[in-house]
């Protein structure tokens, strides 16, 4: 596959032309400087590393959601964490398992118990109804993830995952679902105003995450807007050309005018942001 070609984008009604890089790298993200906020939703930032210098736009909700999710996942790995507990159910619930699920429970009961499920003595079955063989187990405790108790369906799905992976399945899907929901609800929302220092701290925390380019729901946390090196080179070239073409005392004013036409403005930023949204590179956050 041929290398991805840079995309040329115009802003400011044709007065400002910049080359957008193909991607923001982790190394580049670690050297980002926040400019501030845009419409209390996005954080424009300058990323600079050697010959590369670009303007990126960061979704403040998506970025904070990713940070919070990985913090919760780290707490989940600690045995005495308050993220996960085992909640006793009164009265115990009876859960019907298919033959595959029952076999998985026989082979991997310790894995289910590691997440907080506890089972009563004995089980009924197997029974055959309408051609389906089922075994009934008594569940005395269920996992409780940050106050949310998992259900019988969550147990059945986890047992199927254990069967399909020969016991190698990680956390139950329901645990991840709850963590994603909690991260989303607890993250900075659109409309929350941040000081410049808070914006900078969020970018630094995002750069330290394992999956810094995606929010908890898989949407992008940022998008590149302009290659600032290309813009600077273009502006200098235009000023040089104008200076050669214009003689007399007005050349300085004319050069300043050309430079001003290529200066990045808030209108340019909003226009480029609208183009990025139109291309579905950024989705409205806070809806997951």
Cβ within 8 Å of residue 42, ≥6 positions away: 57, 58, 59, 60, 273
Domain of 12? Answer: 7-70+188-278
Whether 66 and 95 map to the same domain: the answer is no
pLDDT for 259 equals 40
Cβ within 8 Å of residue 14, ≥6 positions away: none
Cβ within 8 Å of residue 189, ≥6 positions away: 61, 286
Tally of structural domains, the chain: 2
The DSSP bridge partners found for residue 224 are 56
Range 123-145 burial, b when 16+ CB lie within 10 A, else e: beeeeeeeeeebbebbbbbbbbb
**CA nearest neighbour of 49 among 203, 228, 264:** 228
User: Two tokens at 268?
Assistant: 């340019």
Q: Where are the beta strands (DSSP E) in 172-285?
A: 222-227
The CATH number given to whatever domain includes residue 261 is: 3.30.1540.20
Distance of CA 28 to the CA centre of its chain: 17
pLDDT for 11 equals 38
Whether 197 and 274 map to the same domain: the answer is yes
Per the CB < 8 A criterion, the answer to whether 225 and 55 are in contact is yes
Whether 157 and 90 map to the same domain: the answer is yes
Whether 168 and 198 map to the same domain: the answer is no
Q: Does a structural domain hold residue 140? A: yes
pLDDT for 45 equals 95
DSSP state of 49: E
pLDDT for 285 equals 43
pLDDT for 25 equals 86
Residue appearing with tokens 């809806």: 287
Which three-class secondary structure state does DSSP give residue 175? Answer: helix
pLDDT for 134 equals 83
Alpha carbon distance 18, 275 (integer Å): 14
User: Two tokens at 216?
Assistant: 């908890």
Domain final position from 139, 156, 184: 184
Question: Prior bond to 148 cis, omega within 30?
Answer: no
For every one of its 288 residues, what pLDDT tens digit does the chain have, with 9 covering 90 and above?
Answer: 454 444 333 333 344 444 555 578 888 899 999 999 999 999 999 998 878 888 999 999 999 999 999 999 999 988 778 899 999 999 999 999 999 999 999 999 999 999 999 999 866 665 555 545 689 999 999 999 999 999 999 999 999 999 999 999 999 999 999 999 999 999 999 999 999 999 999 999 999 999 999 999 999 999 988 888 877 776 544 444 444 444 444 444 443 443 444 455 666 666 666 665 565 545 444 444
Whether 106 and 49 map to the same domain: the answer is no
- The two counts, helices (H) then strands (E), for the chain are 9, 10
Q: Does a structural domain hold residue 77? A: no
Q: Report the side by side order of strands in the sheet with 52-59.
A: 32-34, 42-49, 52-59, 222-227
pLDDT for 267 equals 67
Alpha carbon distance 38, 18 (integer Å): 20
């Amino acid at each position: 596959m041929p290398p991805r070609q840079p995309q040329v984008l115009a802003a400011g009604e044709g007065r400002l032309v910049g080359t957008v890089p193909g991607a923001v790298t982790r190394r580049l993200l670690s050297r980002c400087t926040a400019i501030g906020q845009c419409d209390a939703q996005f954080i424009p930032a300058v990323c600079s590393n050697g010959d590369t210098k670009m303007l990126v736009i960061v979704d403040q909700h998506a970025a904070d959601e990713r940070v919070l999710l990985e913090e919760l996942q780290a707490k989940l790995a600690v045995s005495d964490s308050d993220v996960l507990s085992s909640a006793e159910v009164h009265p115990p619930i009876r859960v019907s398992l298919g033959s595959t699920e029952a076999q998985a429970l026989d082979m991997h009961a310790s894995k289910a118990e590691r997440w907080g499920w506890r089972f009563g003595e004995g089980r009924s079955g197997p029974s055959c109804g309408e051609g389906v063989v089922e075994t009934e187990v008594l569940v005395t405790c269920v996992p409780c993830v940050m106050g949310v108790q998992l259900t019988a369906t969550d147990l059945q799905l986890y047992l199927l995952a254990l069967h399909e992976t020969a016991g190698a399945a990680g956390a139950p899907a329901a645990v991840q679902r709850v963590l994603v929901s909690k991260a989303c609800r607890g993250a900075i929302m659109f409309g929350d105003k941040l000081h410049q220092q808070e914006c900078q701290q969020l970018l630094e925390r995002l750069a330290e995450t394992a999956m810094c380019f995606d929010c908890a729901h898989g949407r992008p946390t940022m998008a590149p807007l302009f290659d600032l090196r290309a813009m600077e080179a273009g502006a200098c070239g235009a000023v040089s050309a104008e200076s050669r073409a214009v003689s007399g005392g007005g050349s300085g004013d004319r050069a300043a005018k050309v430079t001003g036409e290529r200066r990045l403005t808030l209108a340019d930023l909003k226009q480029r942001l609208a183009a990025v949204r139109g291309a579905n590179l950024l989705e409205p956050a806070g809806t997951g």
